[in-house]
Structure 1
Amino acid sequence: MIRRHIAVLLAGAFVLAPVAPLTAQNTGRSISPTDKAQGTQAHPQLLAQFGGAYKGPQTTFVERVGKRVAVQSGLSNAGSDFTVTLLDSPVENAFAIPGGYIYVTRQLLALMTSEAELASVMGHEIGHVAARHAASRNTRATIGGLLARGVSLATKSDLATRLAGTGAQLYTLKYGRDQEYQADALGVRYITAAGYSPYASADILAALDESTGLTAQASGTARSAPTWASTHPNGADRVQRAEALAKATGKPEIATTQDTAFLRMLDGLPYGEGKEGRKVIRIVTVSARDTIDTLSQRMAVADGKRERFIVINGVPADEPLKPGTLVKLVVAA
């Protein structure tokens, strides 16, 4: 919620346009043999290009949440029809392809503060598949483009350098603006049906926007567009639209306690690229003497320790930490 309010302030005056319809094309269909065959063929290639499947204890948690959301999409009622993969990648990324294959990177997982935020990200990506967005752009060509971007990232080519320079941290399938809005709407529908707070979508979108700003500052580039710069609409725009979608569900926004189970699950998760030594997420309990300044000084990041601490924990910069709550630190392993 704190993240979202920051992003809304950045937006300035804004008039909300009508949200995209909540109806996806062919959402009542099961996963077709053709889609399953294409996904099965592309899956090992995607694993090879995006760091492989992460093998840590967080994988079971991510798989459970992904399947819980996916069965709400109408693609299939069986969780076993979906393959959910936590990628061992230092890039904040998530995507899905036809055939029931859903992916999220460990770096994006590290940014989240709740299970509902994880559900929201995967709901959005599943929405693209349920609405047949890739099919409308030629599925084979789209998957090929994703693989090409993966190769560029792995080989540090000029394309990867340009993308990193703009602070674009998510390498996703390039959909049109209306398709992104529709996937946002479908994602909110899916997570609400799965029992999660619909407001989590706006929260994680705000977090991604803030994280992109920090990356742009660290790289010395001016940010002209938020995270998902080349593939997604303006971040603050999407945050407000997502909040409107959540309100439209009729579910009240209730102040919730920390998702301590989710945060403890993150403990030990690798963070970043590890060029300067392996780093991991550690979950610590705030003491009465702890402040944002004292805890952020323990962060094993080169620049912007305080700012990165605030973003990954979703805490307000001008309020004291509450003793007894949990926070994430990035530390040397």
Structure 2
Amino acid sequence: MIRSPLLLLTAIALITLGLASGCASNPATGGADVVVMSQGKEVRIGEEMHAEILKEGGLYEDAELQAYVDRVGQRLAANSDRPDMQFTFTVIDSPDLNAFATPGGYVYINRGLLSYLDNEAELAGVLAHEIAHITARHAARQQSASITNKVLAVTAGVLTGSRQIMDSAAMYGTELVRGYGREHELEADGLGAKYMYLSGYEPDALLEVIAVLKDQEQFQRVRARSSGKPAGTYHGLYATHPRNDQRLQTVVRAANELGAGEPLEDPSVPGEFQRRTDGLPWGPASKREEGRYYHSKLEFSFAHPPDWRVRSSSSAIIASAPDGSATLTLTLRQPDPAQSPREALEAAASGALSEGLELDQAGLKGYSAVASNDADARRLAVVNHNWQYLFEGKAEDFAAADGTLLEIIQSFRPLHPQEREVASGRHLRYIQVPRGATMASLAASSRIPDAEAQLRLLNGLYPRGEPRVGDWVKVIQ
């Protein structure tokens, strides 16, 4: 008969773990993987969370940047311990300096963090760290530890009738989970550094990312102290690491010892990372009317159903229904002064036109009609506003969607004066440092709070560094 509460708790733990858990080899660590969540459930949870993030408008609407981040991520994933797993990489429209992963292969990075990174290797470091959380099944192991903790507590209480044992089991399990969190981060660092090396990136870039985030922490403490407010606690990416984390340096060195790799690009000159991040919005997203698209350079706006997505590229703007069943594509061209909007549409259309409609919206002249070609029908329109804008709407069920397509077209108008700030906002730009420039002089044209300190943070020069003539630096315009 077991008389010691500790021995009894241990016995219950062993029995409960045997009943409640599955055990397999972890694909990343090679160790025993004691989990209660199947890989199929991981994928389902990730899919549900991803759908919710997109539904809440979390996606940063820049198709080219999204594709670039996905390409870097897929290269790392292909060299991970789960190369056959499907990964999805998404840039989130948030100014926060963070990245995170959810079960099932979903990795997210905030646009705010992208602004503070200097090159593709640092981006790869962030993504590799999050990939490692997935390959090592940290979310599943964390949930399993939490569930096992609850099962331990309840089972102990039921079998012994002892509230003390129930409380002890719960407290022990909670501490175990907290410990998992700390160890999981270092494990993700080691695996991520390995994935970086195997993908051609310098693992040392992980240390550069740590320095960026620790500078940000120091800045927040200084600013809080000067305002007499308590400094907030940072809980984001790498929050568990001190600036000179010896354990992190050890795992990075281990990855470097796999061989001598060369970086994919010279970070001292603008490469693809710089081209893709030039123009990133700075700070919180502007307060825009929900369901309205704004274009600052061309100074126009149009309304759309709140659940529709609008994507822009160098050649077109495409508004699409959430299920892709209907799309409206907007392109532009130089207008012919000799043509009316109706004549321009008739010249551009293929197929017979019907249901012609003269447009006169907010002073803009246009014309719309339905083009039919065999069984295919499309909603077309031309509107003149400095340029000539051509609309083409398609739908699987055209009769049902045509009213919505026409409403979007009829909502097209010039920006109101008060909307120009909303549409343009402030953006990150790369410039080459001219002779005689200092951080103070560069900050003078950036209309943001603490401009000089913020520019130093963006460029890895915090707290007192100065740029060199000819260097490429980030500014806010």
- The two structures have a TM-score, normalised by structure 2, of 0.51
In structure 2, distance between residues paired with 1:174 and 1:300: 43
Matched AA of 2:200:
G
Cα distance per residue 1:41-87 (max 9 Å; x no partner): 221113345x4211223212111111111222222246xx2111001
Structure 1 residue 187, shift from structure 2 partner = 1.1
1:177 alignment counterpart: 182
Q: 1:92 aligns with which of 85, 92, 97?
A: 97
Unmatched tracts of structure 1, length 5 or more = 1-23, 143-172
**Structure with the larger RCO, 1 or 2 (CA within 8 Å, 6+ apart):** 1
Is the aligned partner of 1:286 residue 2:433?
yes
Residue 126 of structure 1 aligns with which residue? 131
Task: Answer whether contact 1:113 1:259 (CA < 8 A) is retained.
Answer: no
Instruction: Give the secondary structure class of the aligned counterpart of 1:96.
Output: strand
Tell me if structure 2 keeps the 8 A contact 1:39–1:100: yes
Question: Share of identical aligned residues, percent?
Answer: 30
The one-letter code sitting in structure 1 at the alignment partner of 2:26 is Q
Distance in 2 (alpha carbons) for counterparts of 1:281 and 1:194: 28
* Structure 1 position 229, deviation (Å): 6.3
Cα distance in structure 1, aligned partners of 2:281 and 2:248:
30
Match among 194, 202, 210 for residue 205 of structure 1: 210
Shift of 1:27: 2.7
Partner residue of 2:447?
Answer: 300
Offset, 1:217: 3.7
Q: Distance in 2 between matches of 1:326 and 1:258?
A: 7
1:33/1:188 Cα in 2 relative to 1: closer, same or farther (>3 Å)? same
State the shift of 1:175 in Å.
5.8
Q: Is the 8 A contact 2:193 2:203 kept in 1?
A: yes
CA–CA distance in 1 between the matches of 2:452 and 2:247?
29
User: How far apart, in 1, do the equivalents of 2:133 and 2:102 lie?
Assistant: 8
Would the alpha carbon gap of residues 73 and 102 (structure 1) be closer, same or farther in structure 2, given more than 3 Å must change?
same
Q: Helix, strand or coil: the match of 1:137?
A: helix
Contact 1:63 1:84 in 2 (8 A): yes
1:34 aligns with 2:45: no
1:52 aligns to 2:58 (yes or no): yes
SS of equivalent residue, structure 1 residue 52: coil
Aligned residues: 271
**Aligned twin of 1:313:** 459
Q: State the alpha-carbon separation in 1 of the partners of residues 99 and 237 from structure 2.
A: 14
Say whether residues 1:25 and 2:26 are aligned partners: yes
Cα distance, 1:110–1:175 mapped onto 2, change above 3 Å: farther
CA distance in 2, matches of 1:90, 1:317: 21
1:243 aligns with 2:249: yes
Provide, for residues 223-281 of structure 1, a one-character-per-residue CA deviation record: whole Å limited to 9, x for no partner. 485x436983143144x433332223226699954151122321111111156962211
| 2:268 alignment partner, one of 238, 258, 263 | 258
Indicate which of 57, 75, 82 corresponds to 1:68: 75
Distance 1:300 1:242, change over 3 A: farther
Task: Flag the structure with higher helix content.
Answer: 1
Q: Contact 1:267–1:282 at 8 Å: present in 2 too? A: yes
| Secondary structure in structure 2 of the residue aligned to 1:272 | coil
Output the CA distance in 1 between the equivalents of 2:434 and 2:262: 26
Range with bigger deviation, 191-200 or 263-272: 263-272
Q: Which runs of 5+ in 2 are unaligned?
A: 1-24, 31-37, 148-177, 287-420
Taking structure 1 as the reference length, the TM-score comes to 0.71
Matched, 1:83 2:88: yes
Q: Aligned partners of 1:77, 1:134: CA distance in 2, in Å?
A: 19
Does the C-alpha gap of structure 1 residues 75 and 257 become closer, same or farther in structure 2, counting only changes over 3 Å? closer
Q: Which residue of 1 aligns with 2:470?
A: 324
Shift of 1:102: 0.8
